Every structure is written in C-alpha cells, then in structure tokens.
C-alpha cells in the first residue's frame, strides 16, 4: 500500500487532468536535508528524503512529460545541487539523491529534446532560502562567508534561462562552477578529511521532525 506522501504526485496529476489544464513547465524543487553522518540520522528521514527528491521528481516527470512530447513543447527544471556533482563524504544520502537528479535529468534531456522538450538540472550551492532552517542547520552554516551565498531569485532566473537554451546540467554561479571543476582533481583522502570536518561544522546529530517535512526551498 502506498503511503499518503507517495500518493501525492498521482493525486496532483489527477487534479490537473480533472481541471483540463495543460502543463508547459514543471519545476521539481521540493527537498530537504539531514545533518550529521549517515548512521546518525533515522531511516524515516532518509525514506522521506528519497520519496521527495527521487521518487516524486521521477513520477511527476513521468506523468507530465508525455503531453509535452505530444504538444512538442515543454520545460522541466529539476533542482539538484553541487552536492550531486562532487563525491563529498558529508551528507551521504542527500548527495546521492542529488546525483540521481543530475543523471536522470541529463539522460532524459537527450531522449526528449528531439520532441521539443527541454530538461535541465540546476546545481546551486549555498542559497538563501528556507532550506537550512527546515533542516535545523541555520546556526551551523553561519560560518559560510557571504560571497559563497546566492539569492534564490538569481538561482531561479538562471535555471529558467538554462532551460530555455536546452542546457541539460547547469551549475549556478562562477564560484560554484570553479569549485566543482577543482574538486575533481582533489585526492580522495583530502576529500574525506574535508568532509569529516564539514560534518562536524554542520552538526552531527539526529534529525528532528522538521527534517522529514516537505519544503519548497532551494538547496
């Protein structure tokens, strides 16, 4: 039996069909994170995270993209993260789920572009939104310098522009693009050490109820 949370995409699409609406653009943005190491968070939090970031994104796209293909027009923006592009050992499940979003978007983009549909995964870094508040990590990111943060409106505008041009994967911000490029050449032992330090700064603790609540915040 499907949980109430897992039934939401189908319920939403049924409502869209009942109202006779044509969806030309879909933005899969809901998501949340958990603080601490993999074994310190509850499985309930991870299960909810996978449902929101992986399953709901896949199902909403699956249900809405056929009509876009038929009309030969559509835009799908999936909000991923720079965490989905680097193999950092901090935030294991979050990073892995965002890696799925990136790969899913890139592969689907190749499949549907000949039909006039653009699919884009945007990969922001630190973004001013409700994301860290919902994860209970507001105090833990106060150390992040101001120049590393982006406004949600800027991230959204860049994502829209990238989708319009048919860019499958777009990294928001020059600093983030440089960081991802450099990260590929960093030896894994240093990555592991940096990830452990980040986990300590981010707060290694068990998640509270807010961490298993859907949010519409950009990561």
**Residues classed as catalytic:** 94
Cα-based distances in Å from 87 to 21, 29, 53, 96, 196: 40, 22, 18, 9, 13
Query: What distance in Å separates the CA atoms of residue 75 and residue 65, rounded to the nearest whole number?
Result: 9
How many beta carbons lie within 10 A of that of residue 213, not counting itself? 12
Give which of 3, 53, 63, 7 is closest to 28, Cα–Cα.
53
DSSP 155-204: HHHHHHHHHHTT-SEEE-SHHHHHHHHHHTTS-HHHHHHHHHHHHHHH--
Query: What distance in Å separates the CA atoms of residue 97 and residue 101, rounded to the nearest whole number?
Result: 7
Query: What distance in Å separates the CA atoms of residue 50 and residue 96, rounded to the nearest whole number?
Result: 10
216's tokens: 């519409």
- Dihedral of the alpha carbons of 157, 160, 166, 172, in degrees to the nearest 10: 40
């Amino acid at each position: 039996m499907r949980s109430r949370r897992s039934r939401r995409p189908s319920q939403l699409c049924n409502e869209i069909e009942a109202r006779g609406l044509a969806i030309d653009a879909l933005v899969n943005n809901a998501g949340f994170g958990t603080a601490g190491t993999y074994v310190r968070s509850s499985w309930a939090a991870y299960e909810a995270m996978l449902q929101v970031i992986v399953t709901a994104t896949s199902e909403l796209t699956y249900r809405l993209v056929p009509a876009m293909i038929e009309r030969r027009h559509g835009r799908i923006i999936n909000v991923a993260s720079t965490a989905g592009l680097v193999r950092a050992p901090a935030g294991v499940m979050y990073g892995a789920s965002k890696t799925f979003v990136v790969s899913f978007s890139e592969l689907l983009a190749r499949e549907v572009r000949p039909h006039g549909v653009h699919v884009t995964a945007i990969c922001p870094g630190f973004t001013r939104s409700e994301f860290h508040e919902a994860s209970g990590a507001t105090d833990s990111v106060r150390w992040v310098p101001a120049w590393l943060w982006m406004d949600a409106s800027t991230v959204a505008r860049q994502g829209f522009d990238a989708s319009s041009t048919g860019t499958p994967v777009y990294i928001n911000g020059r600093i983030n693009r440089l960081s991802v490029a450099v990260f590929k050449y960093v030896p894994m032992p240093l990555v592991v050490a940096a990830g452990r330090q980040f986990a300590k700064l981010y707060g290694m603790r068990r998640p509270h109820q807010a961490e298993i609540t859907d949010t519409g915040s950009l990561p």
